[in-house]
Amino acid sequence: MSFVSEFNSLPAPSLAERSLAANAGVVRDSLAKSKLSLADFANLISPAAAELLEHLGRRAHAMTQQRFGKVIRLFAPLYLSNECINNCQYCGFSRDNPILRVTLSLDEVKREAAELRSQGFRNLLLVAGEHPKFVSNNYLRECIAALHAEWPGLSLEVGPMETEDYRPLVAAGADGLVVYQETYDRKVYAEMHTAGPKRNFDWRLETPERAYAAGFRRLGISPLYGLADWRYEAICVAAHADYLLRNCWKAQLTISLPRLRPCAGEFQPLTHMSDRDLAQLVCALRLMFPDVGLVLSTREPAKLRDGLLPLGITMMSAGSHTEPGGYTGAGRKKLHQTVRGRIVPAGSSEWALVGRASSRAESDVPEASDGSSVASPHQKQATAATGQFEIADGRSSQEVADLIRRLGYEPVWKDWDAALTA
Ligand code: SF4
C-alpha cells in the first residue's frame, strides 16, 4: 500500500479545523507526551500554541541539540537546466514563460561544481526542470558520474521518474532525492498545474517511495507554502513523513520549509504564512520528528534564517543561485527561448533585457573562464539565464558559515552519513 491510500483517508481538513479550535489545555496535554500523534501535531501548530511559542522554541532547541549536536550542514543547489514541459503557475521555469533558458553541457556543469567545491561545499543538490529532450535520463546519469568522485553527497531535484529509471542514477553516485509535492490540496494542485506530466498528483505523491525502492538513501519532501492553508499543508507533510519513516526506514528523511518567492510570471501567493507561523512550524516539526532533518533555503531573508536556525534547522543552502550557470557564467553564450520544444533566439523576450533576466546585477556576472565575449551594458542584453525565483538571503557561503560559527554552531560542508560510508 502506498502513501496515496493513506492520504486518501487522512482526515487532514478536520485536523486543520481542530487545530484552529485548540485551546491552551490541549496544547499542554500534547506537549506533555513523549510521542506525538498527528492530532498532537495539529495542536502544536494551533493559534493557541502560538501563544506558547517561546516555550515551544526552548523545547525544540534542546531536542535538536540532543539529537544533532551543534552542527548545521550546508549544501548548494546547482541548476543544470531551466527547460521545462510543465506549466506550474508559481514557477519561473514554466514552459509558457518567455524566459531565457539554457541547459549546461557536462563541462559547464563541472565548472559550476568546481566553483562550489572551491567554496568548501561537498554536498550538492542538482536541480533541473522537467524536459526529456534537454534533461534526459542519460544526461543526468552523465552529470552524476562526472561529479561523483569529488562529491560525497549528491542529491537530485528533477522530474519524477519510474523506479527503473532511477536505478542508473543511484548506480552513478546519486544518493539523495528531493521532491516537493507543492500542495497536498488536490483542488489547488489541479489549478496550479495546468499542463504537463506534473498534473498527475498521485504519481508525484508516490515519488519518494519509488526513489527509495531504487536505492536512494536520502529523501526530501515538502509542500510549497503559499498555495493552500499552511496548517493543512503542515498536517499533510507530517503524515507523509510519518509514512516514510515507517515504510522507507533505511532512508534519512528531511523536510524543507519553502515559502513562495517572486519569480517570472509574477504569481502572487494564494495564502499567507507569517514569519511567526514559520517559526512555530519549525518547532512543531522538531517536536513531532526528533530525528528528521529540517531544511531552510535562501528563499528566506538572512535575519529570519539566523533567528530560525537554533529552533531546529539542521541543513541550509548558502550563496545560492537559481539560474543555470549562476556561479560561473557558464552557458551564457547559449541563452535562448524555447517554444514548443524548439529553440528560438532570445532577442524578442522581455527577459533578454538586463534587469529582468536575473536577480543579479549585470556587473556581478563573472567573466567566463574561456574568455567568451559578453554583451556590453550598452546593448542591454542579459548575460544570464532566468532564475527559478528570487533568493532573499544574498550572503555568500562564507558569510553564512561565519554566521553559523558566531551562533555557536559548526558548519559542516559534507553529509556525515556519506562520509561515514565512503
Ligand atoms: S516547478 Fe518544476 S516542474 Fe513546475 S515549471 Fe518549475 S521546474 Fe518545471
How confident is the model over 113-130, as pLDDT tens digits? 999 999 999 999 999 999
Residues 23-38, mean pLDDT to the nearest whole number: 97
Query: Is the pTM here over 0.85, yes or no?
Result: yes
Cβ(182)–Cβ(189) below 8 Å: yes
Among the atoms of ligand 1, which is closest to the Cα of residue 92? Answer: 6
Q: Among 12-16, 95-99, 220-224, 381-385, name the one with the lowest average pLDDT.
A: 381-385
Residue spans of alpha helices (H) in 313-358: none
The finding on whether 130 has its CB within 6 A of some atom of ligand 1 is yes
Task: Give φ, ψ of 192 to 5 degrees.
Answer: -80, -25
Kindly tell me if the per-residue pLDDT of 422 is higher than 90: no
**Per-residue confidence (pLDDT) for residue 369, from 0 to 100:** 39
Higher-pLDDT residue of 183, 371: 183
Q: Which of 276, 271, 156 is nearest to 223 (CA)?
A: 271
What is the amino acid identity at position 242?
Answer: D
What is the amino acid identity at position 358?
Answer: S
**Per-residue confidence (pLDDT) for residue 355, from 0 to 100:** 47
Kindly tell me if the per-residue pLDDT of 76 is higher than 80: yes
Kindly tell me if the per-residue pLDDT of 374 is higher than 50: no
- Ligand 1 centroid to Cα of residue 91, in Å, is 6
The finding on whether 94 has its CB within 6 A of some atom of ligand 1 is yes
The finding on whether 198 has its CB within 6 A of some atom of ligand 1 is yes
Kindly tell me if the per-residue pLDDT of 359 is higher than 90: no
The finding on whether 282 has its CB within 6 A of some atom of ligand 1 is no
Kindly tell me if the per-residue pLDDT of 341 is higher than 90: no
Cβ(351)–Cβ(381) below 8 Å: no
Q: Which residues, 6 or more positions from 246, have their beta carbon under 8 angstroms from its beta carbon? A: none
Classify residue 199 by its DSSP letter.
G
The finding on whether 86 has its CB within 6 A of some atom of ligand 1 is yes
Residues 374-383, mean pLDDT to the nearest whole number: 50
Cβ(390)–Cβ(261) below 8 Å: yes
Q: Which residues, 6 or more positions from 171, have their beta carbon under 8 angstroms from its beta carbon? A: 215
- Ligand 1 centroid to Cα of residue 209, in Å, is 20
Per-residue pLDDT band for 240 (boundaries 50, 70, 90) equals very high
Give CA torsion, residues 225, 230, 236, 239, to 10 deg.
100
**Per-residue confidence (pLDDT) for residue 59, from 0 to 100:** 97
Per-residue pLDDT band for 379 (boundaries 50, 70, 90) equals very low
**Per-residue confidence (pLDDT) for residue 215, from 0 to 100:** 98
Per-residue pLDDT band for 354 (boundaries 50, 70, 90) equals low
Can you tell me the distance from the alpha carbon of 318 to that of 399, in angstroms, rounded to the nearest whole number?
A: 9
Can you tell me the distance from the alpha carbon of 266 to that of 116, in angstroms, rounded to the nearest whole number?
A: 30
**Per-residue confidence (pLDDT) for residue 363, from 0 to 100:** 35
Can you tell me the distance from the alpha carbon of 99 to that of 386, in angstroms, rounded to the nearest whole number?
A: 6
Beta-strand relationship, 87-88 and 193-195? antiparallel
**Per-residue confidence (pLDDT) for residue 23, from 0 to 100:** 97
Kindly tell me if the per-residue pLDDT of 80 is higher than 70: yes
- Ligand 1 centroid to Cα of residue 234, in Å, is 21
The H-or-E segment that residue 128 falls in is strand 123-128
Can you tell me the distance from the alpha carbon of 343 to that of 336, in angstroms, rounded to the nearest whole number?
A: 6
Q: Among 154-168, 230-244, 260-274, 346-360, name the one with the lowest average pLDDT.
A: 346-360
**Per-residue confidence (pLDDT) for residue 377, from 0 to 100:** 42
Beta strands of 138-212 (E only): which ranges?
153-157, 176-182, 193-195
In three-state secondary structure terms, 82 is coil
The finding on whether 91 has its CB within 6 A of some atom of ligand 1 is yes
Cβ(386)–Cβ(84) below 8 Å: no
Minimum CA distance residue for ligand 1 atom 4: 88
Residues of the chain with pLDDT > 90: what percent? 85
Kindly tell me if the per-residue pLDDT of 194 is higher than 90: yes
- Mean pLDDT computed over every residue of the chain: 91
Per-residue pLDDT band for 380 (boundaries 50, 70, 90) equals low
The finding on whether 206 has its CB within 6 A of some atom of ligand 1 is no
Q: Among 215-224, 305-314, 336-345, name the one with the lowest average pLDDT.
A: 336-345
**Per-residue confidence (pLDDT) for residue 381, from 0 to 100:** 59
Can you tell me the distance from the alpha carbon of 29 to that of 294, in angstroms, rounded to the nearest whole number?
A: 25
Higher-pLDDT residue of 12, 417: 12
Torsional sign, CA 333, 338, 343, 348? negative
**Per-residue confidence (pLDDT) for residue 375, from 0 to 100:** 40
**Per-residue confidence (pLDDT) for residue 1, from 0 to 100:** 80
